[in-house]
């Protein structure tokens, strides 16, 4: 059986008595064992990082950017390998796996422009003979803790900007699908990154706590569930670190009476069910305004959902594949039963879905609920599976209020032809990222990603210039040069080459 090791000091590092199973979600078979590291393994990585980081920070930004260019080219050359590896451990179909990697590469592309992003401010003549300028400097050794649902994209979102800014980066990926993060670290080394600047330590809560408690790790970025995000934020901040911790979501799609329902149904098919709903920016709640809109939308949704093809991750015609493991499949199906018990109308039931020849795979069929109420627990919590809930609203005001009052505030979308309604909605809704006729409003790499409320802890978002600010500290210099020159034994002489 394949063993997945840490990547420390530029090489595979086999350490850790404890291991965790890595499944093939398509058939439920254990395909690998990942080593679960300890604080001692983290310290070995830290020793390498602390040794390598000063020289990397002293490397000029243009040369650091060249490594990013090389890495981008290598990832593109190895796209098929990476996508199949990702798909085999996560379960998302190949097209989604390539999208996962491509969205991460877009942040790498942004990082290629780091010389411009690191430029500071300058004021000449702030006072008599006084100039003021600022510079952005790396924090030192930083870390990222990433989830199972985007094992390519989210690590690149984090380490791309952090490393380009001059930091050394320690990555703790999900133990459910760790192979792609390790492979990305190998490609970074091949691209010319010095040993010790990007390292991967595999593990579970023991490794997470070791990272949060280590005094030499200056910043931590996290993506996962909200409860764990809150824990990471509190523990990391208590240890004196800068922390950004992105949590869960319950994104809403508002459908106004004037919306193009055919386009809405097409968008919902991908946004609610793509990647088996295992996306923090999925669209699991649709809010039609008015019963006429709701009934018409439902009538179109049912046949569209019934046409969705659930298949193995290598099926080019499948719309989505299995969820990541058996425990998560059970969790999703428990939420479906919860919705039934709470009185929501189960229109399409995805439980009990099986695929011939893959009966032990972790598949959940597409599921649709109608007449879901805001008081229901199944609405209030994140399901993270291929389940779409219809929550009917009587008015535009109620449609604004539903996502605004929800505990999560990651993303929201409105579907309308009315510019005034869209403008009002975008201005008033209490959510961090808004789409207008865009079902999954993930910003492009040179803007910034981050939700509100229980969807994010910390006040600086991911990637874009917010990412540069998170991974650097600002130093401001105020200078004045007196008239005249110093002579004699105190004179400073610029050395020349002999």
**How far, in Å, CA of 69 to CA of 78, rounded?**
14
CB proximity list for 382: less than 8 A, separation 6 or greater: 225, 226, 248, 249, 250, 284, 408
**Closest by CA position to 129, among listed 495, 430, 481, 498:** 481
Q: What is the pTM of this model?
A: 0.93
Q: Quote the pLDDT of residue 493.
A: 59
Q: How far apart are CA 491 and CA 482, in angstroms?
A: 14
SS3 content of the chain, % helix, strand, coil (to 5): 40, 25, 35
Task: Please name the fold of domain 252-436.
Answer: Aldehyde Dehydrogenase; Chain A, domain 2 (3.40.309)
Query: What pLDDT was estimated at residue 16?
Result: 73
User: Domains of the chain: which residue ranges?
Assistant: 2-247+455-477, 252-436
Interval 289-330: pLDDT, tens: 999 999 999 999 999 999 999 999 999 999 999 999 999 999
pLDDT for residue 494? 62
Out of 280, 312, 376, 460, the active site residue is 280
Query: Is 165 known to be catalytic?
Result: no
Q: Domain 2-247+455-477: give its CATH code.
A: 3.40.605.10
Q: What is the pLDDT of residue 17?
A: 86
307, burial (CB in 10 Å: exposed 0-12, middle 13-18, buried 19+) = exposed
* Coil vs helix vs strand at 211: helix
Per residue in 60-87, is it b (16+ CB within 10 Å) or e — as a string? ebeebbebbebbbebbeebeeebbebbb
Low-confidence ranges of the chain (pLDDT < 50): 498
């Amino acid at each position: 059986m394949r063993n997945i090791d840490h990547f420390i000091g530029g090489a595979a590092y086999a350490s850790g008595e404890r291991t965790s199973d890595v499944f093939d979600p398509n058939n439920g078979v254990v395909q690998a064992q990942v080593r679960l590291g300890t604080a001692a393994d983290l310290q070995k990585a830290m020793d390498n990082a602390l040794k390598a980081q000063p020289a990397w920070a002293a490397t000029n930004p243009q040369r650091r950017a060249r490594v990013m260019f090389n890495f981008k080219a290598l990832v593109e050359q190895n796209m098929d390998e990476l996508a199949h590896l990702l798909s085999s451990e996560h379960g998302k179909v190949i097209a989604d796996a390539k999208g996962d990697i491509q969205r991460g590469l877009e942040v790498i592309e942004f990082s290629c422009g780091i010389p411009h992003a690191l430029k500071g401010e300058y004021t000449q003549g702030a006072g008599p003979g006084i100039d003021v300028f600022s510079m952005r400097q790396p924090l030192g050794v930083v870390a990222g803790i990433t989830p199972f649902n985007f094992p390519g994209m989210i690590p690149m979102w984090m380490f791309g900007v952090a490393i380009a800014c001059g930091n050394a980066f320690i990555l703790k990926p999900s133990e459910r699908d760790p192979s792609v993060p390790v492979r990305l670290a190998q490609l970074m080394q091949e691209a010319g990154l010095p040993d010790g600047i990007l390292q991967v330590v595999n593990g579970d809560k023991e490794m997470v706590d070791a990272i949060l408690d280590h005094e030499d790790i200056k910043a931590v970025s996290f993506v996962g569930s909200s409860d764990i995000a809150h824990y990471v934020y509190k523990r990391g901040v208590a240890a004196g670190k800068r922390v950004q911790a992105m949590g869960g979501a319950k994104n809403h799609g508002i459908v106004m009476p004037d919306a193009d329902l055919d386009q809405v149904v097409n968008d919902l098919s991908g946004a609610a069910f793509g990647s088996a709903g295992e996306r923090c920016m999925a669209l699991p709640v649709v809010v039609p305004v008015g019963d006429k809109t709701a009934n018409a939308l439902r009538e179109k949704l049912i046949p569209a959902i019934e046409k969705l093809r659930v298949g193995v991750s290598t099926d080019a015609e499948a719309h989505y594949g299995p969820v990541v493991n058996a425990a998560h499949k059970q969790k999703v199906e428990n939420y479906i039963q919860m919705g039934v018990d709470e009185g929501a109308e189960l229109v399409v039931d995805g439980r009990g879905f099986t695929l011939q020849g893959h009966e032990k795979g972790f598949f959940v069929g597409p599921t649709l609920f109608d007449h879901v109420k805001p008081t229901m627990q199944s609405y209030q919590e994140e399901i993270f599976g291929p389940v779409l809930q219809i929550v009917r609203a009587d008015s535009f005001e109620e449609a604004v209020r539903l996502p605004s009052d929800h505990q999560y505030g990651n993303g929201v979308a409105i579907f309308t032809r009315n510019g005034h309604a869209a403008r009002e909605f975008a201005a008033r809704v209490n959510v961090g990222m808004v789409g207008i006729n865009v079902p999954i409003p993930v910003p492009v790499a040179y803007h910034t990603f981050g939700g509100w409320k229980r969807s994010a802890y910390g006040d600086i978002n991911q990637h874009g210039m917010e990412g540069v600010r998170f991974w650097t500290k600002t130093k401001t210099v105020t200078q004045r040069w007196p008239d005249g020159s110093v002579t004699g034994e105190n004179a400073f002489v610029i050395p020349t080459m002999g």
